[in-house]
Amino acid sequence: MLLTPLIMSSSLIIMLIVLLLPILSTLSPSPLKAQWALVGVKTAVKLAFLISLLPLFLFLDQGAETVVSTWNWMNTLAFNITISFKFDLYSCVFIPVALYVTWSILEFASWYMHSDPNMNRFFKYLLIFLMAMIILVTANNLFQLFIGWEGVGILSFLLIGWWYGRADANTAALQAVVYNRVGDIGLILAMAWIATKMHSWELNQIFILSKDFDVTLPLIGLILAATGKSAQFGLHPWLPSAMEGPTPVSALLHSSTMVVAGIFLLIRLSPMMENNSTALTICLCLGALTTLFTATCALTQNDIKKIVAFSTSSQLGLMMVTIGLNQPQLAFLHICTHAFFKAMLFLCSGSIIHSLNDEQDIRKMGGMHHLAPFTSSCLTIGSLALTGTPFLAGFFSKDAIIEALNSSYLNAWALILTLIATSFTAIYSLRVIYFVTMHHPRFNAFSPINENNTAVINPIKRLAWGSLIAGLLITSNLLPLNTPIMTMHPLLKLAALLVTVLGLMMALELASLTSKQFKVYPQQTLHHFSNMLGFYPHIIHRFMPKVNLVLGQAIATQTVDQTWLEKTGPKAVCSLNIPMASTVSNIQRGSVKVYLSLFFFTTILALVILLT
Amino acid sequence: MLKILIPSMFMLLTTWTSPFKQLWSTTLMYSFLMATLSLTWLAMPADTGWFYINNYMAYDPLSSPLLVLTCWLLPLMIIASQNHLAVEPENRQRTYISLLISLQIFLILAFSATEMIMFYVMFEATLIPTLIIITRWGNQMERLNAGTYFLFYTLAGSLPLLVALLMYHNSMGSLSYLSLTNLPLTCSDSYADKLWWMACLLAFLVKMPLYGVHLWLPKAHVEAPIAGSMVLAAVLLKLGGYGMMRIMIVLDPLTKELSYPFIILALWGVIMTGSICLRQTDLKSLIAYSSVSHMGLVAAGILIQTPWGFTGALILMIAHGLTSSALFCLANTNYERTHSRTIVLARGLQVVLPLMATWWFLASLANLALPPLPNLMGEIMIITSLFNWSFYTLILTGLGTLITASYSLYMFLLTQRGPIPHHLILLEPSHTREHLLLALHLLPLLLLIAKPELVWGWAA
């Protein structure tokens, strides 16, 4: 009976150690071997994946969940912070998925980055990033979660800014951190509130105690945190900008791990949230807005990575909607399935970008179906899975979400936005396939197209298997927490498919329209809105920093520090004393008349005072 | 205490008698031995309360981290100054080291004093060596102005404290910390008592410095030589925080309402000085303003007077001491190579000095309070205790963390990332000495993660 938790916790600890070993080995002063990236890191991740399957199987077989609490880290006045890991449904399923995806991405990166002199360092960053993510997922108290949370944030700073000679990469890196930091304010708010009211950061205790409090305020903080990390509307521009990083980074950070951290936070703390309708409504509306807005932006982008990035953002919005529906488990399911096909889409686009000599513009691609058949087939599979084609990975989660949405009595506005966004998914996915794989090539004749490398084929293939079967595997093994609605109107049941097909038809129609010109001047307002990302970055990225920088320069530095504080403080002392000092010294110039008259007046004054 | 204090005094003798060839190595070794010995202060024989050495000196969990920090910083200052003093004649080098040692003696006496007046005298005495260091070894003409500001702000702030302390002594008959807690409270609501309250805190608020009376700090930091900047940021500012925590006990009934404007001013200062950092062109000035910003948070944490506030303030003081000192050292490595403090003139240094970039990165992360560094532990405790007082403080503290992250990473990006400018040729490679210096700053910080209760203060 005691064997299960023992095996479970020890294998998870072994997994952490296995991942930690390569990081520790970099501390040795001797330079790393060139093979370290593949032999050290990739093998470690692969091994960790295999080890992490053991607790997963134990969980599936016996439903075993365990919490490991060791080492009382900090203790102030009855407020304890311990190192505490939680291995429950979410972490047991997420860790193997994350490790599997990372394993593929690392192998791909060894090909993609092979000319980079600092490849070992790159792998090290990826591994530390993965560690931070695992800490976040397994954390059982908010402080530990915060470590993972900030860890992924700062590693994304390093990885986005990997090509640090480029100003754009540095800007994007800073942008990511600043947007995330706005979200962190929310997390700090929640932590502060919980610490003052509940006197514990342990998740279990928070869940028990939250029944006795009105937890709207900390929940809003948590939603703000998730908005920052998961690029929800308002704090979304960093995610597409982050495509400045190398493609493996985009695949790992901005598709399947880091950006889902915000959603994961809400899933993790969903017991706190389930009875609070204000928070749920905020999530629902925010998610719906995000999913539609970013899907709209994706429609007219020309950079292949940007399209995939926006589709990530749109899917994150869908997950947020699911949280708002109070179906955290479905959101979690979508995280898991989304990880496979989104990572694969990124790897495929990476392979294509590499093949076309670092060309990212889809208008300069085309005909890849003949030249790179494997990559383009997988790109198609990924896009189909993304749109929710039946029985691919995306279907199982997306369809369930839309069903739950349709059968709920919540906000119809949010529902319509989400449905429109779902049909947009089909449009931009088709657009990618249409421009990249179909028709004739539109690129230079001497492109180094070569996908025949095991380091390209194998990872994409593994993820393609994942995109095909992961949805089925996960749904058939996990018991849903909320009872799904079994019977419904056929129209509602088919809504997700219908809007997708509708989107597809529209996209095909639009595609055939591109070669025809019915009007002299095309109507471009909508296009500009979508292409310029709703003008959001242009407004916010000019306005907010300008306010702060003007505050810093004109008010804080010049007006206050250099003028007011200086003039009323030290300079005032100076200017008040100088006239007196100069008067006194001017009097004493050695002229006898002045001395005598001063003496005379002083004597008179003294006499007057004495006599009166 | 005497175990350290007497060797410190004899170190002056060593400085002047050791052969010139071994001057730096001897003093360095000597000060390191003392720093190692001083670590024993962290082991508290009793769980809480004082550890008595004699009638005049004692330490408790509040002062011992600061004492250890003081001792730890002397060898670091010696390492840091070695290069820029190499051109000076022998006697001046000896004088310089002697000044640093005398500063350590004064600081140990200040932190270990059990009498308020003793603390006051030592608090003032630290001005002398610091003033000489700034005005004699600074690099530019403005150093004289900076010295004047430094001296007169502190003096003007602390003279009322002397009067207040004498008054208190007159009525109570004792100023010993050991008995302060047992004395009856004397404050009433009269204007005189409010003035007395103000007089007690003003000196420390100026020393911290509170926003509004901070003008001396950036000037002093910018003009001081590296050792001066280090000790100023790491220890001297903490005298203010330490003194405030000590004197808070006797101010009790008045403090609650009277401190509100100061808390708000401190938090507002966090934002204002953070914004100033975003527009700084001068590297040392940027770091100095970031010190003001962090110390504003410390001041707010102390004035709120909860156990969490005090603990957070103490942790943040120690963490900030190590971090800002490390940042000044990094700025100095740039300065010694480019002979300019202007940020835009030394960009893209990661290409030239790759390992230095790692130190820059770690120091910037510590500055922006990345979990689980002690900086974060301190900040989050202060933020929580302020939040407990009023929800609205979170707007200020939250914006403060945002701005702190922005300017820290901006500083890192600007100095380390990007292409290297063409005028930066013939840069010296970084010395082992510099790496050692930074490792000795950042390693304690990293090790404190594992056992933060060492710098917890009395809440442990």
Question: Between the ranges A324-328, A447-451, B74-78, where is the mean pLDDT highest?
Answer: B74-78
Minimal CA–CA distance to A292: which of A427, A428, A417? A417
Give me the mean pLDDT over the A142-166 stretch: 91
Tell me: pLDDT of A2 over 80: no
Q: What is the pLDDT of residue B185?
A: 67
Distance separating alpha carbons of residues A493 and A485, to the nearest angstrom = 10
**Helix or strand run (H / E) with residue B274:** helix B260-278
Token pair of A406 as six digits = 């349709």
Q: Is the pLDDT of residue B78 over 90?
A: yes
**Distance between CA atoms of A280 and A409, rounded to whole angstroms?**
13
Closest residue in A to B382 (Cα–Cα) = A192
Instruction: List the single best residue of A238, A557, A576 to mutate versus B (max B Cβ within 10 A).
Output: A557
Residue-wise pLDDT tens digits, A354-398: 888 888 888 888 888 888 889 999 999 999 999 988 888 888 888
> What would the pLDDT profile of A313-325 be if each residue is shown by its tens digit?
999 999 999 999 8
| Residues 90-149 in A contacting B (C-alpha not used; CB under 8 Å) | 143, 146-147, 149
Residue B47 pLDDT > 80: no
C-alpha torsion B309→B313→B315→B321, nearest 10: 170
| CB contacts, 8 Å: B311 with chain A | 76
Chain A positions in Cβ-Cβ contact with residue B277 (cut-off 8 Å)? 552
Could you write out the DSSP letters of every residue in B337-393? HHS--BGGGS--TTTT-HHHHHHHHHHHHHHTT-TTSHHHHHHHHHHHHHHHH-TTH
pLDDT in tens, A400-453: 888 888 888 788 888 889 999 999 999 999 889 988 888 888 888 888 888 888
pLDDT of the residue at B460: 44
Nearest Cα neighbor of A535 from A286, A293, A260 is A293
Nearest one of A81, A197, A87 to A143, comparing CA atoms = A81
Domain locations in chain B as residue ranges: 1-455
Name the closest residue on chain A to residue B418, using Cα atoms. Answer: A165
Among residues of chain B, what percentage have pLDDT more than 70?
Answer: 97
Residues sharing a CB contact under 8 Å with residue B322, sequence separation 6 or more, in sequence order: B69, B234, B366, B441, B442, B444, B445
Closest Cα to residue A288, out of A426, A417, A423, A419? Answer: A417
Whether residues B413 and A174 touch (CB distance < 8 A) is answered with: yes
- Is the confidence at residue B82, as pLDDT, over 60? yes
- Helices B237-247 and B90-112 sit at what angle, rounded to 10 degrees? 20
Band of residue A494 on the pLDDT scale cut at 50, 70, 90: confident
Q: What is the full DSSP assignment across B17-75?
A: HS-GGGHHHHHHHHHHHHHHHHGGGGS-SSSSS-EESSSSBEE-TTHHHHHHHHHHHHH
CA-wise closest residue to A436 among A352, A341, A342: A352
Is the CB of residue A243 less than 8 Å from the CB of residue A173? no
Q: Do B277 and A174 touch (CB under 8 A)?
A: no
Is B418 an 8 Å CB contact of chain A? yes
A566 inside 8 A of chain B by CB:
yes
> Among positive and negative, which fits the CA dihedral A402, A403, A406, A409?
negative
What does DSSP assign to residue A29?
S
3-state helix, strand, coil in chain B (%, to 5): 75, 0, 20
A156 pLDDT more than 70: yes
Mean pLDDT of B365-369: 93
Quick check: A529 contacting B, CB < 8 Å? Answer: no
Percent of chain A with pLDDT over 70: 99
Ordered alpha helix ranges (H), A201-259? 203-209, 216-229, 238-241, 247-251
pLDDT given for residue B459 in this prediction: 46
Q: Look at A565 and B215 and tell me if their CB atoms are within 8 Å.
A: yes
**Geometric angle at alpha carbon A146, from A145 and A149, rounded to 5°:** 90
Ramachandran angles phi, psi of A451, nearest 5° = -105, 5
- What radius of gyration do chain B's Cα atoms show? 21
Q: Spell out which residues of chain B touch residue A170, defining contact as CB-CB under 8 Å.
A: 413, 417-418
CA distance B436 to B141: 32
Average pLDDT over residues B114-121: 91
Rg for chain A, CA atoms, rounded: 31
Dist CA A294 CA B60 (whole Å)? 58
Sequential DSSP letters for B222-255: HHS-HHHHHHIIIIIHHHHHHHHHHHGGGGHHHH
Cut 0.90: pTM above it: yes
B417 closest CB neighbour out of A77, A161, A552? A161
Average pLDDT of the residues in B375-398: 92
Distance of alpha carbon A425 from its chain centroid, rounded?
20
* B457 in Cβ contact with B377 (< 8 Å): no
| A35 or B217, which is more confident | B217
A296-310, A427-441, B170-184, B267-281: least confidently modelled range: B170-184
Mean pLDDT of chain A: 88
Q: What are the tens digits of pLDDT across the range B225-254?
A: 999 999 999 999 999 999 999 888 778 777
Tell me the C-alpha distance between A238 and B66, whole Å.
41
pLDDT at A480 over 90: no
Separation CA B245–CA A460 (nearest Å): 61
Tell which B residues from 291 to 350 touch A, by Cβ distance under 8 Å: 307-308, 311, 348, 350
A&B contacts, CB < 8 Å: 124
Interface test with chain A among B149, B211, B272, by most A beta carbons within 10 Å: B272
Residue B186 binned pLDDT confidence (cut-offs 50, 70, 90): low
The two tokens of residue A230 are: 């998961």
Q: Measuring CA to CA, which residue among A75, A299, A120 is closest to residue B454?
A: A75
Signed CA dihedral, A125, A130, A136, A138: sign only: negative
Of A77, A164, A191, the CB nearest to B307: A77
Contacts of B275 in chain A (CB under 8 A): 548-549, 551-552, 556
Mean pLDDT, chain B, whole residue set? 90
Contact B329, B73 (CB under 8 A): no
B278/A549 CB distance under 8 A = yes
Given A147, A170, A195, which is nearest B417 (Cβ)?
A170
